[in-house]
Amino acid sequence: MEHLPIFLDIKAKPCLVIGGGPIALRKLENLRRAGAAITIVAPELTAEFRARVDESEIHYRARPFEDGDLEGMRLVIAATDDRAVNRHIGELANARQIPVNVADQPEDCSFIMPSIIDRSPVVVAVSTGSASPVLARMIRARLESLVPAGYGRLAELCADYRDKVKARFEQQRDRRRFWDRVLQGGVAERIFSGHLAEAHVAMEKELAAGTQSSVGEVYLVGAGPGDPDLLTFRALRLMQQADVVVYDRLVAKPIIDMVRRDAEHIYVGKQRNQHTMRQEEINRLLARLAKEGHRVLRLKGGDPFIFGRGGEEIDTLAAEGVPFQVVPGITAANGCACYGGIPLTHRDYAQSVTFVTGHLKDHSIDLNWPQLAQPNQTVVFYMGLVGLPKIVEQLITHGVSPEMPVALVQQGTTHMQKVYAGTLATIIDEVETDPPEPPTLIIVGEVVRLRDKLAWFSIERDPEQGATTPILPGD
């Protein structure tokens, strides 16, 4: 370890920044957020720098650096465009044992500025020891997804309850177990979702429960249409926290593989006329597992509330008094249309879009056909592959032109994606020649005509490595 990572308290302490350009401004921002009393020395400032000085309580000396400027300073930043001046400032500061950072000259620094993730009071700093600031910024960007903004509020809640927890648990072991439970459970998740009042109520319940495990929680998480890259940051975090995962056949295997490795897996997949577990049984299973104290991840393909039956599941959870939260996912219509190069709306072709299920609870497709046959709209049929002949027949019967464009997107956003494009008059023959594999989404509307123009690439995904390769038109 070439540098000792430390955090300095410079709140209200005199700090000096020499330089008036973009680099000096970036350095200034970190000092300002830390509450330093800042003095700027530079003959000129950029317009952006000047605006920041004018709006803040920053003392500005409009002249070149003088040795006496270091007097009384607790920290110095040298960021002029003259390397010799910067080196001179570094030598002076080091001689006076004042911490100094010299921009882009690590040999003249007594400390270096890391790449920072600010979730105050939680702060994460990343450094490569000046070897590669760009790499440090890349690592920081990846960590951003793992440290949501709510961690700052969570730390504040911990500070509020620190004394109460010490009074409640005499043994350090018990305090550690309590905080482990709180920081990875329902209290933390309420903080992350912005429900601060509910978080305090949950915290009081946890204190009352003591070392006894309280009721668990259910996470209804939208896994998206298949591509793991489309998961939300929040979904990824919950996937790593859950100790039981309940999933169905629409959740892609690469996504299942991203769940916490020691979690129990329960498959409840349903296909047409073949149900591993009935929906009512799934609802009761989720409630039972949570009441046993588990953190239950209910992974659902697409979005839980768009033909995902998430509403039925939370009905049961609410009735049973089980805490839950819902994490939206990219629904199949958005994902499949985007990866297929089909805009669901377009000013010239479709001013509305309708999502409709291709079969009802009793396996019929008795839909509002007059409404679905209206012009200037896009209609997306979920789970409509088996009923495709009926869909085509009814749309034409209710006035839709047989020349209306249609696209079927097989297993959209995955390496198995395939797009069948045609019209109402031709699509049946196309799928009979080369039957698509479910799940397949059906898109009906003039926007399908734009596919050849807008689908600048298709997705080819290596099923073993998960790598994606763009395929340009004509390849």
Q: Which residue has the higher pLDDT, 352 or 55?
A: 352
Bridge-partner residues for 461, per DSSP? 468
Look at 50-64, 131-145, 428-442, 445-459 and tell me which has the smallest mean pLDDT. 445-459
Confidence of residue 146 (pLDDT cuts 50, 70, 90): confident
Question: Does 204 show up as a binding residue in the annotation?
Answer: no
Answer whether residue 119 is part of any domain.
no
- Residue where a domain stops, chosen among 54, 89, 113: 113
Same domain, yes or no: 305 and 417: no
Same domain, yes or no: 177 and 221: no
Question: Does 150 show up as a binding residue in the annotation?
Answer: no
Whether pTM > 0.85 for this model: the answer is: no
The answer to whether residue 189 scores a pLDDT higher than 70 is: yes
Question: Does 436 show up as a binding residue in the annotation?
Answer: no
Question: Does 10 show up as a binding residue in the annotation?
Answer: no
Answer whether residue 67 is part of any domain.
yes
Q: Can you give the residue range of the structural domain that contains 61?
A: 14-113
What CATH number has the domain bearing residue 365? 3.30.950.10
What was the pLDDT predicted at 213? 56
Number of domains in the chain: 4
- Residue where a domain stops, chosen among 113, 140, 168: 113
Query: What value does the mean pLDDT take over residues 392-415?
Result: 95
Same domain, yes or no: 198 and 175: yes
Same domain, yes or no: 209 and 247: no
What was the pLDDT predicted at 469? 42
Question: Does 5 show up as a binding residue in the annotation?
Answer: no
Answer whether residue 400 is part of any domain.
yes
Same domain, yes or no: 263 and 317: yes
The catalytic residue positions are 248, 270
pLDDT tens-digit series, residues 283-328: 999 999 999 888 899 999 999 999 989 999 999 999 999 989 899 9
Same domain, yes or no: 222 and 233: yes
Same domain, yes or no: 340 and 317: no
Answer whether residue 309 is part of any domain.
yes
Residue 65: CA atoms inside 13 Å, Cβ hemisphere, count?
25
Answer whether residue 258 is part of any domain.
yes
Question: Does 225 show up as a binding residue in the annotation?
Answer: yes
CB of 86 closer than 8 Å to CB of 80: yes
Look at 46-50, 266-270, 383-387, 471-475 and tell me which has the smallest mean pLDDT. 471-475
Look at 98-107, 207-216, 261-270, 381-390 and tell me which has the smallest mean pLDDT. 207-216
Same domain, yes or no: 326 and 343: no
Bridge-partner residues for 468, per DSSP? 461
- Residue where a domain stops, chosen among 194, 213, 232: 213
The answer to whether residue 475 scores a pLDDT higher than 50 is: no
pLDDT tens-digit series, residues 455-472: 554 444 444 444 444 444
The answer to whether residue 107 scores a pLDDT higher than 80 is: yes
Answer whether residue 9 is part of any domain.
no
pLDDT tens-digit series, residues 207-217: 888 766 567 88
Confidence of residue 195 (pLDDT cuts 50, 70, 90): confident
As a whole number, the mean pLDDT across the chain is: 88
For the chain, the first-to-last Cα distance in angstroms comes to 49
Same domain, yes or no: 83 and 190: no
Question: Does 343 show up as a binding residue in the annotation?
Answer: no
Same domain, yes or no: 101 and 227: no
Answer whether residue 62 is part of any domain.
yes
Question: Does 44 show up as a binding residue in the annotation?
Answer: yes
Query: What value does the mean pLDDT take over residues 83-106?
Result: 95
Same domain, yes or no: 320 and 395: no
Phi, psi for 324 (deg, rounded to 5): -150, 160
Same domain, yes or no: 281 and 362: no
Phi, psi for 127 (deg, rounded to 5): -140, 145
What was the pLDDT predicted at 145? 73
Answer whether residue 60 is part of any domain.
yes
> What are the CA-CA distances from residue 383 to residues 175, 224, 386, 391 (Å)?
50, 16, 8, 12
The answer to whether residue 144 scores a pLDDT higher than 90 is: no
